Amino acid sequence: MLTAFARAFKTPDLRKKLLFTLGIIVIYRLGAHIPIPGVSYENVQICLDQGNKTGGLFGLVNMFSGGALLQITIFALGIMPYITASIILQLLTVVIPRLEALKKEGQSGTAKITQYTRYLTVALAVLQGTGLVATARSGALFSTCPVGSEIVPDQSIFTTVVMVITMTAGTAVVMWLGELITDRGIGNGMSILMFISIAAGFIGALWAIKEQGKLADGWIEFAIVIAVGLAMVGLVVFVEQAQRRIPVQYAKRMIGRRSYGGTSTYIPLKVNQAGIIPVIFASSLLYIPALIAQFAGGDSGWKRWIEAHFVKGDHPYYIATYFVLIVFFAFFYVAISFNPEEVADNMKKYGGFIPGIRAGRPTAEYLSYVLNRITWPGSLYLGLIALVPTMALAPLGANQNFPFGGTSILIIVGVGLETVKQIESQLQQRNYEGFLR
């Protein structure tokens, strides 16, 4: 692997792409430490020194922003508005015929959908920025802060508007940086920025486990977490690479004097066809009751029940609901993202068929049957990985957004594998051996 890295840097155009990507990453991390106007940086650091942690949707955004959310910097919202906008547009493509027609137009239609995604990203950034500013002003962003440590000393309308505009502009810059990596770097810009954001807190989270440990000055807990983490990485790599290959044969056709077709290929159906999206959906949906209880006044019975069962994230009701939602959203997303009837029609149009299965409707029914069979283990795997911090690592001091658990480990491994594959393909184009020999 080290030889492959050396060859990558010896190739001039690939070296330029790698160095350009590294430069964008440096700019992104610098922006994650520049506070926005109107925020008391000293008071923020005082509150962070109290050991404050955030969970739920804010915890998810904080993880995706590399810790910039709690620092309330210009990149506080990170890449989360773009992720949400992309998911919404992908769901609306199935519902709105106009978007579905654009998707089928090819490159020009994809460019228009991308433009719509940018507009929606800015709109969501305004909403999320307003919510973050309101939360910081009310003191609900941090659980414990010393008396007099106001995060936003000046609570005028002008200051609030400036803070929201600054965070919205920061989100637009993050989106632009991701697109630059996609166009001029090694590709998958948004995914790489997510990877960097999560990896930025990796060492700190590991060391926090060691500092909080009690056995042999924390080294035993540290070793246990490392062992569990490596086992999880191996499991995630195994499942993410697992796929069911359905063989497809194309009949030989004569067009003029030339013969076409007669080839064999396959349709790769991944075990985890939905990726990380079910976990994000479930986390966002479960945060809604806690958000309502947080901003609701009074001390009613329903508010106390929600705070007791859904706020801390370790109650059996929360764990069971979280697991069921992940399984449900896994099937839901696979159903809207993969259309067996469309695949069967395309195969029939070009003379393709699955051996032993008639073309047309029987092919669609067979693909749907296989997809449902492999989605079950994929959804259960997502639920188990997402619950590892709560079930196994919480007694050791890890939280829901610890790098070895849940959403973070899926993103780190998935993006890492995809990036290595892209560099490998470019190395093989130049007759070099890649990373996977």
- Say yes or no: 429 and 400 in one domain: no
Among 206, 288, 236, 243, which Cα is nearest to 407's? 236
What percent of the chain is modeled with pLDDT above 90? 13
Higher pLDDT among residues 20 and 90, named by residue: 20
- Say yes or no: 32 and 142 in one domain: yes
Residue 210 within a domain = no
41 is in which domain, residue-wise? 1-200+419-437
Per-residue pLDDT of 25-65, as tens digits, reads 999 999 888 888 888 888 887 777 765 555 555 666 677 77
Residue 224 within a domain = no
- Helix (H) / strand (E) element for 103: namely helix 97-104
- Say yes or no: 292 and 333 in one domain: yes
Whether residue 407 contacts residue 401, with contact meaning beta carbons closer than 8 Å, is answered with yes
Q: Look at residue 26 in the predicted model and tell me its pLDDT.
A: 92
Where does the pLDDT of residue 401 fall: very low under 50, low under 70, confident under 90, or very high at 90 and above?
Answer: very low
Higher pLDDT among residues 270 and 395, named by residue: 270
Residue 222 within a domain = no
Residue 311 within a domain = yes
Higher pLDDT among residues 267 and 314, named by residue: 267
pLDDT at 413 over 80: yes
Whether residue 245 contacts residue 266, with contact meaning beta carbons closer than 8 Å, is answered with yes
Q: Look at residue 77 in the predicted model and tell me its pLDDT.
A: 87
- Say yes or no: 384 and 324 in one domain: yes
Once rounded to an integer, what is the mean pLDDT over residues 348-358?
83
- Which of 23-32, 224-233, 310-319 is predicted least confidently? 310-319
Once rounded to an integer, what is the mean pLDDT over residues 214-233?
78
How buried is 197 (Cβ within 10 angstroms: 0-12 exposed, 13-18 middle, 19+ buried)?
buried
C-alpha–C-alpha distance, residues 4 and 2, integer Å: 5
- Say yes or no: 111 and 80 in one domain: yes
- Say yes or no: 399 and 428 in one domain: no
Q: Look at residue 336 in the predicted model and tell me its pLDDT.
A: 83
- Say yes or no: 269 and 295 in one domain: yes
Q: Look at residue 180 in the predicted model and tell me its pLDDT.
A: 92
Q: Look at residue 389 in the predicted model and tell me its pLDDT.
A: 64
C-alpha–C-alpha distance, residues 270 and 422, integer Å: 19
C-alpha–C-alpha distance, residues 367 and 268, integer Å: 11
Residue 225 within a domain = no
Q: Look at residue 221 in the predicted model and tell me its pLDDT.
A: 75
Q: What share of the chain is helix, strand, coil (3-state, %, to 5)?
A: 70, 5, 25
- Say yes or no: 374 and 423 in one domain: no
Q: What is the dihedral of CA 339, 345, 350, 351, to 10 degrees?
A: 120
Residue 237 within a domain = no
- Say yes or no: 108 and 195 in one domain: yes
Higher pLDDT among residues 234 and 65, named by residue: 234
- Say yes or no: 273 and 396 in one domain: yes
Once rounded to an integer, what is the mean pLDDT over residues 5-31?
85
- Mean of the per-residue pLDDT values of the chain: 80
- Say yes or no: 65 and 141 in one domain: yes
C-alpha–C-alpha distance, residues 76 and 170, integer Å: 8
Question: What CA–CA distances, in Å, run from 232 to 164, 169, 240, 348, 418?
Answer: 39, 37, 12, 41, 18
Per-residue pLDDT of 154-183, as tens digits, reads 778 898 899 999 999 999 999 999 999 988
Q: Look at residue 199 in the predicted model and tell me its pLDDT.
A: 82
Q: Look at residue 343 in the predicted model and tell me its pLDDT.
A: 86
C-alpha–C-alpha distance, residues 192 and 178, integer Å: 8
Q: What is the 3-state secondary structure (H, E, C) of 234-296?
A: HHHHHHHHCEEEEEEEECCEEECCEEECCCEEEEEEECCCCCCHHHHHHHHHHHHHHHHHHHC
- Residue matched to tokens 């739920």: 56
Higher pLDDT among residues 89 and 145, named by residue: 89
Q: Look at residue 400 in the predicted model and tell me its pLDDT.
A: 47
Which CATH number goes with the domain that contains 359? 1.10.3370.10
**Total length of the chain:** 437
Give the number of domains in the chain: 2
pLDDT at 279 over 60: yes
Residue 277 within a domain = yes
- Say yes or no: 435 and 304 in one domain: no
What percent of the chain is modeled with pLDDT above 70? 81
Q: Look at residue 58 in the predicted model and tell me its pLDDT.
A: 63
Residue 80 within a domain = yes
Q: Look at residue 295 in the predicted model and tell me its pLDDT.
A: 63
